[in-house]
A and B are shown apart, each in its own frame.
Chain A
Amino acid sequence: MDKIYILLMAFISIVIVNNLVFTKFLGICPYLGVSGRIDMAFGMGMAVTFVVTLAGTLTWLIDHLVLMRYSLEVTRYICYILVIADAVQLVEMYLRRFFPPLYESFGIFLPLITTNCAILGLCLFINLWGIDNFAEAVVLSFGAGIGFTLAICIMAGIRENLKIADVPEPLRGAPITLITAGILTLAFMGFAGMIK
């Protein structure tokens, strides 16, 4: 029971309290670039969730089973980025072969995910926080993806309405998106300190 409680807390903390987009500024590029429409934002979020779960789990395993055992920590970043790039490639090939419609709907997002900082960021944070429990690492990875999806969908919803709002000329586009994001983080700051 205790274990489940810890995992649940870890999940809530990464989705809401330590949301990667709002508190760690990770994955801002797609957050600003893609979040124009809710359906696209959701697709992107799902793709990221999928890859981040895979990448977080794999990098944790490699880190603990290979790098730490043979003190190869120096090569950590190179290993991480290779794992992520491979995971993205793998997911892309798998989807193209078995789920063509899903692959079509992800489109350009899939290859772009390699350079999504949320994914490498999460792998690094798992390492930084010293998570040495495999289940917790998996839950955190999955939660990070859900948190990203949540953030990008909220943003897309607001931006669909921003289109009809009367925004001052120089602030149109990216600036107003950033300011909106700022106000959103203010709301999410209310959760700070709730857990951990």
Chain B
Amino acid sequence: MENKGPTVASVITAGLWSENPVLRLLLGMCPTLAVTTAVKPALTMGLSVIFVLICSNIVVSLMRNLLKPHLRILMFTLAIATFVTIADLYLKAFLPEMSATLGPYIPLIIVNCIIICRAEACASKCGLFISIVDALAMGVGFTVVLCILGAIRELLATGMVFDIMIMPKAFVPWAAMRMPVGAFITLGLMLGLVNLVTGKKA
């Protein structure tokens, strides 16, 4: 790599595991908890975040040498808001049902800390290529966690995943998993599990 910064491989592993935005850095908790009632909205949310993250990282990376330090956060936010508007309009036009389910959580991507964090920590320092890889890795890491969480909650709340019945007929759905309680407790236990696994390795 001609870049002196992080290598491609290290960026990818950081995004997927060692600096996973949700599991390790605790960033972007609001959408994580809010949209994971089922896998489908979780996936849509994840893909929207990947789109916005890549676009904003590209823009920020390209203009990183022109930015005045004290104005940079404002510029990041404006770039992000533009791409979020695009994503939101796209969802409204082509997936109106999904757009209605996700409601204000799509525009809330603007203030999702993951995106500002990556713009600040990576894109404003690194070249274009690394920034794109970083956005992709972080975005995929975020989406995977979202989908796992969504799958657990959907399975326990309805017995279905992706609208396919998995549990036996005798299964009694846990309505609580659909509610905020389910989100908080599932994520809490997931974080505990991750701590347990990484603790043993170290």
Identify the A interface with B (CB < 8 A).
22-29, 32-33, 74-78, 81-82, 85, 114-117, 119-121, 124-125, 128, 168-179, 181-183, 185-186, 189
- How many chain-B residues does the 8 Å CB contact rule pick out? 43
Contact B111 A81 (CB under 8 A): yes
19 contacts between A and B (CB under 8 A): A25-B180, A28-B33, A76-B85, A81-B81, A85-B74, A114-B111, A120-B111, A124-B107, A124-B108, A128-B103, A170-B196, A173-B195, A175-B191, A178-B191, A179-B184, A181-B184, A182-B181, A182-B183, A189-B179
- Give the complex CA separation of A74 and B107 in angstroms: 12
Q: Is the interface of B mostly helix, strand, loop or mixed?
A: helix
Assuming the A-B contacts A25-B33, A28-B33, A78-B81, are A121 and B104 also in contact, with contact meaning beta carbons closer than 8 angstroms in the complex? yes
Q: Which residues of A contact B110 (CB under 8 A)?
A: 77, 81, 120
B116 beta carbon closer than 8 Å to chain A: yes
> Which of B22-30, B43-51, B151-159 is the interface stretch?
B22-30
State the total of A-B contacts with C-beta under 8 angstroms.
Answer: 124
- Give the A-binding residues of B (Cβ under 8 A): 26-27, 29-31, 33-34, 73-74, 77-78, 81-82, 84-85, 88-89, 103-104, 107-108, 110-113, 116, 176, 179-185, 187-189, 191-193, 195-196, 199
Q: A144 to chain B: closest CB distance in Å?
A: 13
Cβ-defined contact, B30 with A185, below 8 A? no
Distance in Å: Cβ of A74 to nearest Cβ of chain B:
7
Instruction: Pick the residue among B27, B82, B116, B176 that contacts A78 (CB under 8 A).
Output: B82
Q: Are A24 and B34 in contact (CB under 8 A)?
A: yes
Given A78-B78, A179-B185, A185-B180, residue A28 in contact with residue B30 (CB < 8 A): yes
Q: How far is the CB of B28 from chain A (nearest CB, A)?
A: 8
Nearest CB of chain A from residue B132's CB, rounded to whole Å: 23
Q: Is the CB of B30 within 8 A of A182?
A: no
- Is B104's CB under 8 angstroms from A182's CB? no
Q: Is the CB of A120 within 8 A of B180?
A: no
With A26-B30, A170-B195 known as contacts, the answer to whether A77 contacts B188 (CB < 8 A) is no
Residues from chain B with Cβ under 8 Å of A119 in the complex: 111
Judge whether B181 and A170 touch: CB under 8 Å. no
Taking a contact as CB atoms closer than 8 A, the residue among B77, B82, B187, B193 that contacts A178 in the complex is: B187
Distance between B87 CB and nearest chain A CB, rounded to angstroms: 10
Q: Which residues of B contact A182 (CB under 8 A)?
A: 180-185, 188
Check if A121 sits within 8 Å of B78, measured CB to CB. Answer: no
